[in-house]
Amino acid sequence: MGLLDGRVAIITGAGGGLGEAYAKLFAKEGAAVVVNDLGSTVNGLGASAAAEKVVAEIVAAGGRAVSNGDDVSTPAGGDNILRTAIKAFGGVDILICNAGILRDRTFANTSEEDWDLVVKVHLKGTYCCALPVWKWLKDHGRSGVIIMTSSTSGLFGNFGQANYGAAKAGIYGLIRVLSIEGRKYGIRVMGVAPNAITRMWTDVPGIGDGELDPILSPENVASGMLFMASDLASDHSGKVLAISGEEISEVKMLMTEGFHPKGPYTAQDVAAHASSVFFPADLKRLLPKN
């Protein structure tokens, strides 16, 4: 018995890296998988048959899978991805929004094209894929799980990733809103901030040109994703997990006790109550390690 027996999963950007690891593990655990991938490079150019290769390996291992090469960042692409699942397997139970690209620049050097394309693939792409699946689950009275990919770059910030971080922060907001709306329909919405060495790291000095640290392999993120997609996490929605082979932790937005003036106040009053307004320095353990 697998954790996903009888389920149908759509996984975008599954032609390599994290998505490939998710697809293979989900298939091993009994899911029928739609492997979506446009086959583009990390910066969003070109195309290849990456999805077909992953499907062939899943089928050779005894699993069930079909490929899809639609563009996640268009409404038509999102609709076609869902139609692929319905045509091949009769429906969908799980959606993993994983597809993404990078165009890293310092903010002053970020072109409008760099901004628009990264936001389109990540944030709009998540919307375009989630909306048809959401409507199908709702209209068919079928509970399901949607897992969206955020990032510590959006949740905490990271140098040179203004476009990527903004898109990933937007996805966090979408996770929170849909987890509230989904309660009525039995749709769980979760988020992941993964940490694994994939082809997106190839230009990072000291990482892309070195050997893969096994602890940071995509497979070590896939096990956490399997947990979130399965009934083992049935009590959880609206939460984001930072997942790697080194750590699995919930990332959560918090508020301090705050300053409550109960009426007109001055800027000096805020300064005088700074210890209540800001988090104390001894909570550094909650921040990303530099």
Distance CA 22, CA 34 (A): 11
Q: Which residue has the tokens 């628009």?
A: 116
The tally of CA atoms less than 13 A away on the side-chain side of residue 34 is 33
Return all residues near 6 (Cβ < 8 A) that are at least 6 apart.
30
Query: DSSP state, 124?
Result: I
In three-state secondary structure terms, 144 is strand
**Residue 113 burial (CB count, 10 A):** 9
Query: Pick the catalytic residue: 164, 172, 185, 265?
Result: 164
pLDDT of residue 204: 47
Q: Is 191:171 a contact under the CB 8 Å cutoff?
A: yes
Bridging pattern class, strands 32-36 and 94-97: unpaired
pLDDT of residue 217: 84
pLDDT of residue 215: 77
pLDDT of residue 207: 47
Q: Is 27:61 a contact under the CB 8 Å cutoff?
A: yes
Supply φ then ψ for residue 220, to 5 degrees.
-80, -15
pTM: 0.91
Distance CA 241, CA 239 (A): 7
**Residue 263 burial (CB count, 10 A):** 5
Catalytic-residue membership of 164: yes
Bridging pattern class, strands 248-251 and 240-243: antiparallel
Q: Is 173:126 a contact under the CB 8 Å cutoff?
A: no
Query: DSSP state, 218?
Result: T
Q: Is 145:229 a contact under the CB 8 Å cutoff?
A: yes
- Rounded to the nearest 10 degrees, the angle between the axes of helix 125-139 and helix 75-89 is 40
Beta bridge partners of 35: 11, 67
CA distances from 11 to 36, 93, 96, 162 (A): 6, 11, 5, 26
Question: Where do the domains of the chain lie, and which CATH numbers do they carry?
Answer: 8-253 (3.40.50.720), 256-290 (no CATH)
Per-residue pLDDT of the chain (290 residues; tens, 9 = 90+): 899 999 999 999 999 999 999 999 999 999 999 999 987 655 545 456 889 999 999 999 999 999 999 999 999 999 999 999 999 999 999 999 999 999 999 999 999 999 999 999 999 999 999 999 999 999 999 999 999 999 999 899 999 999 999 999 999 999 999 999 999 999 999 999 999 876 555 554 444 455 567 777 889 999 999 999 999 999 999 999 999 888 999 999 999 999 999 999 999 999 999 999 998 877 655 455 44
